[in-house]
Structure 1
Amino acid sequence: MFDWMSWTTPVAVFFACIVLMLIGMTLWELRSPTTLRKGWLPIATTRGDRLFIGLLVAAYINLAFVGLSGRLMEWLQLDVEPSVWISFAISMAVLALLMRKG
């Protein structure tokens, strides 16, 4: 069923985190309904809006890192490509920042 995708450990962890976030956000919403608030994003958002925007940004960060990892290897004169765990950590930090301050 999922043979079309390269299921590596980082990919599985990334999707598992997304599933856990969606479950957590659903439970949080049921317990404490959200209200609109204005952070540093140019629009008033709810928790769900910030999660959606953050997940999109996280996906783009990971895709950009995968696309640029070969170049990074050349530019930084590395023996092997940089680990995708780096992009995972960066994307989760950006997601947390967007959820908190966005």
Structure 2
Amino acid sequence: MGELLGWMAWTPPVAIFFTVIVLMLIGMTIWEMKSPTLERQGFLPISTTRGDRLFIGLLAAAYLNLAWAGLTEMHQAIGAVVGFLVLLIVMRWG
């Protein structure tokens, strides 16, 4: 069964990454329960809620990070920081 599924390399950076994603989802759930969101129009071409912007921001950060890894020789941590900044921009103004 392990051969079919493959094994994930649970290195500290991978564990930190998934822990941060889970904590973000828990935080967004608590925030939504305490203060329900309203759709709003930002620079994105659609009306979005906080959850929509989180999802779009995470996708944008992931694709940017993959492009950074594949197209540059610079350290991957810089790409991660740039991706995080993109996520923050989408969450705030998207």
Could you say whether these structures have the same fold, taking a TM-score greater than 0.5 normalized by the shorter chain as the test?
Answer: yes
1:55 to 52, 55, 58: 58
**Which 5+ residue runs of structure 1 have no aligned equivalent?**
74-81
- Aligned counterpart in structure 2 of residue 14 of structure 1, from 13, 17, 20: 17
Q: Could you say which residue in structure 1 is the equivalent of 2:80?
A: 88
RMSD: 1.9
- Per-residue deviation, 1:49: 0.4
2: CA distance, partners of 1:8 / 1:86: 19
Structure 1 pair 89–95 and aligned structure 2 pair: CA distance change class (3 A)? same
| Runs of at least 5 residues in structure 2 that lack an aligned partner in the other structure | none
Q: For residues 92 and 12 of structure 1, do their structure 2 counterparts lie closer, same or farther at Cα, with a shift above 3 Å needed? A: same
Hey, what's the Cα distance between the residues in 2 that align with 1:44 and 1:22? 21
Question: Is 1:100 matched with 2:92?
Answer: yes
Equivalent-residue separation in structure 2 for 1:47 and 1:35 (angstroms): 8
TM-score, normalising length: structure 1: 0.77
Larger relative contact order, structure 1 or 2 (CA cutoff 8 Å, min sep 6): 1
Amino-acid identity (%): 59
Tell me, what secondary structure is at the counterpart of 1:33?
A: coil
CA-to-aligned-CA distance 1:38-95 (integer Å, 9 cap, x gap):
0011110000000010111111111112222xxx33xxxxxxxx32211111111100
TM-score where L is the length of structure 2: 0.83
Which residue number corresponds to residue 25 of structure 1?
Answer: 28
